[in-house]
Copies of this chain bind each other. A is one copy, B any other.
Amino acid sequence: MCLPITNKYINIFRLTKTGRRSLSHSISHSSTDSNSSGGSDAENPEDEVSPRDMQQINSKGNMDFCIKNIKLADFGRREIELAEDEMTALMALRKAAQGEKPLAAAKIVGCTHVTAQTAVLFETLKVLGAQCRWAACNIYSTQDEVAAALAEQDFPVFAWKGESEDDFWWCIDRCVNVEGWEPNMILDDGGDMTHWIYKKYPHLFKKVKGIVEESITGIHRLHQLSKAGKLCVPAINVNDSVTKQKFDNLYCCRESILDSLKKTTDIMFGGKQVAICGYGEVGKGCSAALKAMGSVVYVTEIDPICALQACMDGFRLAKLGDVVRHVDMVITCTGNKNVVVREHMDLMKNGCVVCNMGRSNTEIDVNSLQTPELVWQHVRAQVDHIIWPDGKRIVLLAEGRVLNLSSSTVPIYVLSITATTQALALIELFNAPEGRYKQDVYLLPKKLDEYVASLHLQTFDAHLTELTDEQAKYMGLSKYGPFKPSYYR
């Protein structure tokens, strides 16, 4: 049975919620610095009234939404169209499945960022047959003009940039607390929608066929519920599908480490000595990128297998303490805590750059730098100098938080992979035969994961080979996948 969760539980959740970057300054984001085209900022003065206090109506007479300003719809529609141009994989899925309507009868409540890219996702869900209601998962990230474009198309969206905490939950509530409409699917990013339903409307879970969750935080919550025996519907963890993981960690970080470092410092990579802590996917991406730019990279690892890979890839494996005196940069990618501690930083040479590409903000012990003898100098956004009594300064980026979340944008390609994975997870859970999924947290089935990849191959003008019947038989595989066991990475 699904019990409501106590308030105390909520607070714990809020405290541990990890920020997710999800915004792209893609070629479609003309709005962000081009007001001339009639953007939202020009309207600011009259927007001082809270959206909750305004009654807006779209051109068709519909009022089931709550957004900043319905007049921004045209501009938002252009943004969405540009995003459609770039999210070819998701659009291909939309086209392929629109006849079949695999989400007919699905009633989805969504709680994600509200941006041009996610709008393409939600409009795809609609084309595939779903009814949706949608709130923002972040009080700052909503693109108001996109929300307006959706509202203009009768899409029930409740989100604006600059919500208060109270607004945030009010919007979520407006999605689920509807007369005569009960959701049967949840699309969540951070677990807030799920949490709200658990807390306020647990009876709704009777009809819910599943939850699709994107964020690490939300997945952590679901696992906790599952352990506690309180998870009462199946859930799919979208974050850990192979395709998404490889892009988020390996391929994306390979590019964003360079990007982030250049945006915050003007360090030249050639010839620099760099210590990279951790040789998982993120560490592999960072190491490869810096090596390619001419840096000399030292790797630290605790796992001998990853360590041996680092050796075979041409990196010196060292303990941080043994190289920290002479490196020009230290980058953490371990997912662990206190990887770089005060003792290390005391040994660093003048000008050493310290930053974190791992998952938590615990990898660098920033607290240990909050002592009277050290002077902090805020140099520019994301950059602090910490100055030792003898004049030595280290350059701390993003205060030890994840560097590329704050100093880099997510390529739209990666957003497309996420959105496509979410759509397929919804389709899978909604259509799965009784019994395929229990009250547990699942990964996307391998075959669908492969399908996400195949949709994204098209961008590269890449041509897959098809198994012949004879080959499929020889290998004991279906011609249409899955081609590897589920654990294969």
Q: Which residues of A line the B interface, CB within 8 A?
A: 24-27, 29-30, 32-34, 36, 85-86, 242-243, 246-247, 250-252, 254-255, 258-259, 262-263, 265-273, 277, 288-289, 291-296, 300-320, 322, 326, 335-339, 350-351, 362, 377-381, 383, 385, 395, 408-414, 449-451, 453-454, 456-457, 459-468, 470-471, 474-475, 481, 483-484, 487-489
Query: For residue A317, which residue of chain B has the nearest CB?
Result: B462
* CB-based contact A265/B460 at 8 Å: no
Q: How far is the CA of A480 from the CA of B95 in the complex (A)?
A: 51
Q: How far is the CA of A305 from the CA of B484 in the complex (A)?
A: 10
* CB-based contact A262/B408 at 8 Å: yes
Q: How far is the CA of A139 from the CA of B251 in the complex (A)?
A: 43
Contact pick for A337, options B25, B255, B277, B471, CB 8 Å: B471
Q: How far is the CA of A338 from the CA of B195 in the complex (A)?
A: 54
Q: How far is the CA of A310 from the CA of B323 in the complex (A)?
A: 21
Q: Could you write out 16 A-B pairs with CB less than 8 Å apart? A: A25-B380, A27-B266, A27-B379, A29-B379, A243-B308, A268-B411, A271-B311, A271-B459, A273-B460, A289-B293, A294-B313, A310-B462, A335-B475, A336-B471, A338-B468, A339-B471
* CB-based contact B266/A262 at 8 Å: no
B residues near A461, Cβ cutoff 8 Å: 273, 326
Q: How far is the CA of A269 from the CA of B413 in the complex (A)?
A: 10
B residues near A304, Cβ cutoff 8 Å: 450-451, 453-454, 457, 464, 481
Nearest CB of chain B from residue A317's CB, rounded to whole Å? 4
* Residue of A289, A296, A378, A383 with most partner-chain B CB within 10 A: A296
- How many copies of this chain are found per oligomer? 4
Query: For residue A26, which residue of chain B has the nearest CB?
Result: B266
* Residue of A258, A377, A465 with most partner-chain B CB within 10 A: A465
Query: For residue A321, which residue of chain B has the nearest CB?
Result: B465
* CB-based contact A27/B385 at 8 Å: yes
Q: How far is the CA of A310 from the CA of B462 in the complex (A)?
A: 10
Known: A254-B294, A265-B27, A451-B304. A475 touches B336 (CB 8 A): yes
Q: How far is the CA of A487 from the CA of B294 in the complex (A)?
A: 25
Nearest CB of chain B from residue A74's CB, rounded to whole Å? 15
* Residue of A246, A315, A464 with most partner-chain B CB within 10 A: A464
Contact pick for A311, options B242, B270, B309, CB 8 Å: B270
* CB-based contact B302/A314 at 8 Å: no
* CB-based contact A307/B462 at 8 Å: yes
* CB-based contact A463/B380 at 8 Å: no
Q: How far is the CA of A489 from the CA of B488 in the complex (A)?
A: 8
Nearest CB of chain B from residue A295's CB, rounded to whole Å? 6
Nearest CB of chain B from residue A90's CB, rounded to whole Å? 15
Query: For residue A36, which residue of chain B has the nearest CB?
Result: B378
B residues near A377, Cβ cutoff 8 Å: 30
Contact pick for A410, options B266, B301, B379, B450, CB 8 Å: B266
B residues near A322, Cβ cutoff 8 Å: 463
Q: How far is the CA of A320 from the CA of B300 in the complex (A)?
A: 26
B residues near A475, Cβ cutoff 8 Å: 335-336
Nearest CB of chain B from residue A440's CB, rounded to whole Å? 17
